[in-house]
Amino acid sequence: MPKKFLEKGLAILLKRQTNILSAAFVIMGTVVIAQLLGLIRQRLLVAIFGASNILGVYLASSRLPDFLFQLIIAGALSSAFIPVFSEYLGKDKKEDACRMGSSLLLMGLIIFSFVSLLLFIFAPFFSKLMAPGFSLDQISLMASLMRIIILGELFFIVATFFSAVLQSFSHFFVPGIAAASYNLGIIICIYFLSPYVGIFSAAYGVILGALLFVLVQIPMVRKVGFIFRPSLSIKKSGVLQVLKLMWPRSISIGVFQLGAVLTVTLVSFLPNPGRNYVIFDYAQTLYFAPVVLFGQAIAQAAFPVLSREKNKLDDFKATFITSFNQMMYLVLPVSVLLLVLRIPVVRLLFGAGQFDWQATVLTGRTLAFFSVSIFAQALVYLVSRGFYALHDTKTPLTVGTITTFFMLGLGALFIFKYHLGVESIAIGYSVSSIFEVIVLFLLLDRKVNGFPKRNLFFSLFKIILGTMFMGFALYIPIKLLDQLVIDTTRTVGLLLLTGVSTFAGLSLYLFLTWLFDVKEAQTFILIFKKVGDWKQILTRKEEIITPSPEASQH
C-alpha cells in the first residue's frame, strides 16, 4: 500500500503542472528540500572547518564565477528564453524551439568559456582585486579554489538551461529536485574527501553537484522531446528576440551580483576577514530562506494573474493586495521568530564542531539586523512583478541599482568611519531593502492610480498587532525555561526550548489573527483543513499558466 501510494504520488508530480496553485505547491516543496540540503551542507562545513578564515576564503571564491554565470546566462534564461521558447511550443514549432534553444546554449557556453578562461588565468589578480584585505596566502588559496569552481559552472550552465526547457513544458518538480541534488553533490564530496584534501573537497563538490544537476534532468529532457542541435543561428528571429528581451534583467542581476562581490571587498577590510565573511554568509543564508520560500513562491504564483489583469486595473489591484497581505501574513511571524530566537536557531543549525560560541553570538546578532528587513526583501519580488506585469522593466532596474549602491555606501560608512563590525553590513542591507520596497510601492501606487489603502493597511495593522503579541509569546518561554527549567547546554534541551517557544508563539499568532478576523488566517486554515485533497489540487486544470515575455524577471 505505501509503495503504491508513493508511485501514484510521484506520477502526479512528474506530470505537467498546468495551474498556478500546483506550480506554486511544487516550487515551494522543492525549495524546502533544497534549503534543507543547503543547511546540511553549511553545518557540515562549519563542523569540519569552523568559522575560520579558510572557510571564508572558500565562500568568497565562488562569488566571481557566480557573478559571470548570473550575468551571462541567468538573465537570458529567467527573462527571455522561457517565454520565447514557450511561444514556439504554443505554435506547435518544437523543432524551431529546439534549434533556437541549441543556439543559445552553445552561444552561452562559448561566451562563458572565453570569459572564464580569463578568470582562470588571472585568478590571483581578480582575487586580490575583489578581496584586497586578505593575506597573500589566502589570495593564493582563493585563486586555486576559484579555478576549480569555474569548471563546475560549465556544467551548471547546461543544468540551468535544462531547467528552463522543462519549465517551458510546465514541468517544475524535476528541475527543483535536480537543483537540490547540487547541494547533495557538495555534501558527498565534503564528507568523503575533506580528510584528504581539506577545503578543496567543497570545490570538487561544486563540480559533482553541477554534474548531478545535469544528469537528474536528462531523462525528462529526452521525454519532452528536446534535442540539442549544435548551431550558431544568431540571425534566427527567436535568438534575436531573446537577446533583445534579456538585457534589462541581465543588468539588474549584474548590479545585484556586483553588490555581492563588493560585499566581500568590504568584509576583507575587517580583522579576520575570512571568519567574518563566514558569519555574514551564514546569517544571510538564514535571512534568505523565508524570502525565497514565501516571497519568491507567492510572487511567481501571482505574476501570471497580474499579467492577465494589466488592462483591468481594479482586478489587478485586488490580486496585488491579496498577494501582498498573504505574503506579509507568512513572512512577518518568521521575521520575529528569527529575531527573538536567533541564538537558539544559529546554535541548532550551525553550532557543531568548531563553530564556537563567539561565532554563534555574532552570527545571531547579524541575523537579527537582517531579519528586520525580511518582509521588505520578500515584497520586492511581488512589487517588481507588478511592474513587469504592466510591461515596465526599467523602474525596478533603476530603483534596484540605486539601492544596491546605497547599501554599499552605508556599509563602507559603518566600517571605515565608525569602525563597526560585520553586522553593520547587515544594517546597511536592511535599511536599503526597506527603502527599496517603499519607493517601488509608491511608484507602483502612482502607476495604477492608487491602491485602496483602507483594505491594505487595515488588514496589515491586524497582522502586525498579532506579530507583536507573538514576539512576547516567544520571548517569555525563553526567559522562564532557559537554564531554570531546561538545560540548553545540550542539544535536546535547546531543541525542546526552541520547539516550545515556537509552538507558543505561532499558536498565539494564529489564534489572534483568527480572532481579529484576518482574511489570510481564514484562508490558510481552510487550506490546512483541505490538505487531504492534495491530489485534486495538483491535478486541477483551471488557472492555466501562460508564460509571457516578462515572466520571472526578478
Cα distance between residue 320 and residue 310, in whole Å? 11
> Which region among 130-144, 236-250, 305-319, 435-449 has the lowest average model confidence (pLDDT)?
236-250
Asked if residue 427 has pLDDT above 90, the reply is yes
Q: Are 174 and 166 in contact (CB under 8 A)?
A: yes
pLDDT of residue 76: 62
Asked if residue 151 has pLDDT above 90, the reply is yes
3-state secondary structure 260-272: HHHHHHHHHCCCC
Count of residues making up the chain: 554
Range with the largest mean pLDDT of 144-148, 230-234, 242-246, 546-550: 144-148
Alpha-helical runs (H) found in 373-481: 374-389, 394-412, 423-447, 453-481
The pLDDT confidence band at residue 40, using thresholds 50, 70 and 90, is very high
The pLDDT confidence band at residue 235, using thresholds 50, 70 and 90, is low
Instruction: Using CB atoms within 10 Å of the CB of residue 229, give its burial: 0 to 12 exposed, 13 to 18 middle, 19+ buried.
Output: middle
Asked if residue 12 has pLDDT above 60, the reply is no
Q: Are 440 and 305 in contact (CB under 8 A)?
A: no
Cα distance between residue 513 and residue 464, in whole Å? 9
> What digits encode the pLDDT tens for the residues 246-288?
777 778 888 888 999 999 999 999 999 999 999 999 999 999 9
pLDDT of residue 139: 97
Provide mean pLDDT across the span 491-507: 85
Range with the largest mean pLDDT of 133-137, 485-489, 528-532: 133-137
Asked if residue 528 has pLDDT above 90, the reply is no
Provide mean pLDDT across the span 436-464: 90
The pLDDT confidence band at residue 184, using thresholds 50, 70 and 90, is very high
The pLDDT confidence band at residue 140, using thresholds 50, 70 and 90, is very high
Cα distance between residue 460 and residue 325, in whole Å? 7
Q: Which residue has the cell 547533495?
A: 184
pLDDT of residue 243: 77
pLDDT of residue 155: 94
Cα distance between residue 140 and residue 521, in whole Å? 54
pLDDT of residue 488: 61
Q: Report the predicted TM-score, pTM, of the whole model to 2 decimal places.
A: 0.86
Asked if residue 53 has pLDDT above 90, the reply is yes
Residue in 6, 16, 28 with CA at minimum distance from that of residue 330:
28
Asked if residue 321 has pLDDT above 60, the reply is yes
Q: Are 16 and 541 in contact (CB under 8 A)?
A: no
pLDDT of residue 345: 92
* Phi, psi angles (nearest 5°) of residue 498: -65, -40
Asked if residue 41 has pLDDT above 60, the reply is yes
> Which region among 16-20, 111-115, 119-123 has the lowest average model confidence (pLDDT)?
16-20
Task: Compute the mean pLDDT over every residue in the chain, rounded to the nearest whole number.
Answer: 85
> What digits encode the pLDDT tens for the residues 75-90?
666 556 777 777 777 7
Provide mean pLDDT across the span 224-230: 84
pLDDT of residue 61: 96
Query: Percent of the chain beyond pLDDT 70?
Result: 85
Cα distance between residue 259 and residue 67, in whole Å? 10
pLDDT of residue 535: 52
pLDDT of residue 417: 93
Provide mean pLDDT across the span 447-470: 88
Asked if residue 220 has pLDDT above 90, the reply is yes
Provide mean pLDDT across the span 497-520: 88
What cell was used for 37? 540540503
DSSP 193-245: HHHHHTTHHHHHHHHHHHHHHHHHHHHHHHHHT--------TTSHHHHHHHHH
pLDDT of residue 72: 81
Provide mean pLDDT across the span 321-330: 90
The pLDDT confidence band at residue 385, using thresholds 50, 70 and 90, is confident
The pLDDT confidence band at residue 406, using thresholds 50, 70 and 90, is very high
The pLDDT confidence band at residue 544, using thresholds 50, 70 and 90, is very low
pLDDT of residue 19: 53
What cell was used for 476? 517569555
pLDDT of residue 537: 47
